[in-house]
Amino acid sequence: MSQPTAGAYVRCPDGVASAILPHMDTKDWTWVLRRPCGDCGYDARSVHAPEIGERIRTNTAAWPAVLARTDVRLRPEAEVWSPLEYAAHVRDVHRVFADRLRLMLSEDDPLFANWDQDEAAVAGRYGDLAPADVSSELVAAGTEVALVYDAVTGGQWDRPGRRSNGSGFTTLSLGRYHLHDVEHHLFDVAR
């Protein structure tokens, strides 16, 4: 999952401002489609197509409470995102996956545009955002993408799409992958 990158400063529990360290997440997270996540326990193989939209809505509903926490801007460690940064990332994950899902439903085997989540965090100044704004934007993005998943029927769950690194998805595997990302990050901010 995403970790911080260079350029921003954060306040850690010890009160010392720390630079976000450079980090390029090159790990292939598609393994989560084949086996349970050892951290959060998510098992993509147990997720059925019709439940993806509802689970995204359930996850989305939990984020406003996270964004209301008094420690929302604090990083537990210099190299671990704050709850606010994770929430802004989740908001953007919903937006990116909504675009990818719509492409898969309207085009044959589309190639997804690259999305550098670390670059997005720095450019979007995630740590400087207003928690209330991120909360409303995350809820809107999560609700929107859940509705798109709800509208997928029958053979549409098998429609293909690809990332530039060659990772192939069906609409179903994209939904399972997406769901892990947001559920894992809710787990991250709860620990």
pLDDT at position 118 is 87
Q: How far apart are CA 178 and CA 156, in angstroms?
A: 17
**What pLDDT tens digit does each residue of the chain (191 aa) get?**
444 333 343 454 444 434 444 344 445 778 999 999 999 999 999 999 999 999 999 999 999 999 999 999 999 998 899 999 999 999 999 999 999 999 999 999 999 998 988 889 999 999 999 999 999 999 999 999 999 999 999 999 999 999 988 889 999 999 999 999 999 999 999 98
Query: What b/e readout covers 126-163, taking b as 16+ CB neighbours within 10 angstroms?
Result: bbebebeebbebbbebbeebbebbeebeeeebebebeb
* Residue 35: inside a domain: yes
Residue 164's pLDDT is 86
| pTM, full prediction | 0.87
Distance CA(152)–CA(172), nearest Å, equals 9
Residues shown for the chain: 191
Helix (H, G, I), strand (E, B) or coil at 160: strand
Q: What is the pLDDT of residue 27?
A: 57
For residues 130 and 88, the answer to whether their CB atoms sit within 8 Å is: no
Report the distance separating Cα 70 and Cα 156, nearest Å.
43
CATH number at residue 140: 1.20.120.450
Instruction: Look at residue 55 and tell me if it is in a domain.
Output: yes
Q: Is residue 4 part of a domain?
A: no
pLDDT of residue 162: 96
Q: Is 3 a member of any domain?
A: no
Q: In total, how many domains does the chain have?
A: 1
In a domain, 2, yes or no: no
Structural domain that includes position 167: 9-190
